[in-house]
Chains A and B, each alone.
Chain A
């Protein structure tokens, strides 16, 4: 029977090599930047001439209480985000229902492009704050102002992306459909719609990001509930950890939507895209493979 004994020096070198690998990895750099940020934040609080900036620990404690439903606010974090999510979903659905036909028209017709171009540019350049203030003035408190703000903040992102998508439908594939006399509805279903998909996703991402900012502002000015209104509540209560905590909830919410909705949906819709660095399928070797 033979016994293999690991050389201690070689084992130590292997461990050092592995540790060096971890320290040099991009993930380590990313995590250490967050740790450094939190440490600097925690240590700098006693040095600052204000009592209104909370420590990371206080913010964490506030967020944990909110997650447990232990809050002094009239709404829990779940109720607040639930209300906002409903407004966001309905507003985005309306924005897409309006934006897609206009985008298709502008993509197909040069005259429609010239007609709508300036309004699209103005819509894209307009800060969400302005839409929120205008909607608050028009509709007062309630659901309408936040909904209108979401629609106005999102619709031009839908129009511009869909129009661009229509202009980028591959002509060579349309010609192939013509050459093979494929029915128009099949060309629309199998060529036009799939080639619009990247633009549809871009529209969804930009529209969502802008609409979300607009919604928060509209709820702040013209609502008595929702995630935006909760920020105002904690501002009025002079609780900075509430404002920062809700800002972090916004970030978590956005990340969840990105991971759970967009990430999964785009992985499914674009599963045909070759993975970076993937090689083509090899051909099987056959007896008549030679030339």
Chain B
């Protein structure tokens, strides 16, 4: 379990015409066995936040610390699209992100493929799998490095409702079993309420507008009254906060 500390983070993109502020003075901390969702409208800097945390982007100002005790934490990242190497087999895609490719690493990769029920596809190429199966390989890849912190960027947004519901359950079971710290980006309020222990609300212009704990027992049934009430409550907060104003 790791700790993510974000201090006064600012990110701007300079184009030929203008400077676009993606994140503005964002500070928060996530630690321990937490499942924190980042929710907000499109273009509010959710993905940019994960890209900065993973080292893909550099911040314009402010700082981040992702630690596990005294050392730098290991990060796993599940992307919106699976981002698998199409020319490598499923098992090789998992091995690609391992520090070493010895038998222990191979065994670990097989184990996580089994956890997402795709052990039988180890030698297949990604192009031979459906979109949902590819996304599960992406999840297995993230877990297979046994990260301290898991970043997830709308991992189910491209999938049909039934597949995404199944994957949400699998993901939650894996989070529960492995005790990772998860930062989960979504624009789907229902998804956030079903999965999270805490929700961070972002507004357009990349401002953090709210930090809301979700105190409901797991497993949460999306159709239950208490989850529906929590969703309604959250949506009211969305309306009361100035989320879409720039």
Q: Are B75 and A179 in contact (CB under 8 A)?
A: yes
Given contacts A176-B83, A180-B77, A190-B96, whether A280 and B145 have CB atoms under 8 Å apart is: no
The verdict on A278 contacting chain B, using a C-beta distance below 8 Å, is yes
CA distance A180 to B56 in the complex (A): 10
CB pair B96 A186 closer than 8 Å: yes
Cβ A176 vs Cβ B77 within 8 A: yes
Residue of B nearest to A191 (CB): B85
Chain B residue at minimum C-beta to C-beta distance from A270: B87
Q: Are A173 and B75 in contact (CB under 8 A)?
A: no
| A-B interface contact total, Cβ < 8 Å | 69
Chain B residues with CB under 8 Å of A30's CB are none
**Max chain B C-beta neighbours (<10 A), residue from A190, A197, A273:** A190
B175 within 8 A of A: no
Contacts of A175 in B (CB 8 A): 51, 56, 83
8 Å CB contact of B54 from A179, A191, A197, A291: A179
Whether A274 contacts B166 in the complex (CB less than 8 A), given A172-B83, A190-B85, A194-B87, comes out as: no
Q: How many residues of B contact A (CB 8 A)?
A: 32
**What 1/0 mask marks residues of chain B from 65 to 103 whose CB sits below 8 Å from any chain A CB?**
000000000011101010101111000000011000000
Interface flag for A286 (CB, 8 Å): yes
Does A283 lie at the interface of the complex (its beta carbon under 8 Å from any beta carbon of B)?
Answer: yes
Distance A100 CA – B1 CA, assembled complex (angstroms)? 46
Give the chain B neighbours of A284 by CB distance below 8 A: 120
Is B25's beta carbon under 8 Å from chain A? no
Q: Are B56 and A280 in contact (CB under 8 A)?
A: no
Cβ contact within 8 Å between B79 and A272: no
Q: Are A179 and B96 in contact (CB under 8 A)?
A: no
**A286 and B128 alpha carbons, distance in the complex (Å):** 20
Expressed in whole angstroms, the minimum distance between the Cβ of A132 and any Cβ of chain B is 39
Q: A179-B75, A179-B77 are in contact. Are A280 and B55 (CB under 8 A)?
A: no
Contact code string A248-278 (vs B, CB < 8 Å = 1, else 0): 0000000000000000000000001110001
A207 to B85 Cα, complex, angstroms: 28
In the assembled complex, how far is the CB of residue A29 from the closest CB belonging to chain B, in whole angstroms?
33
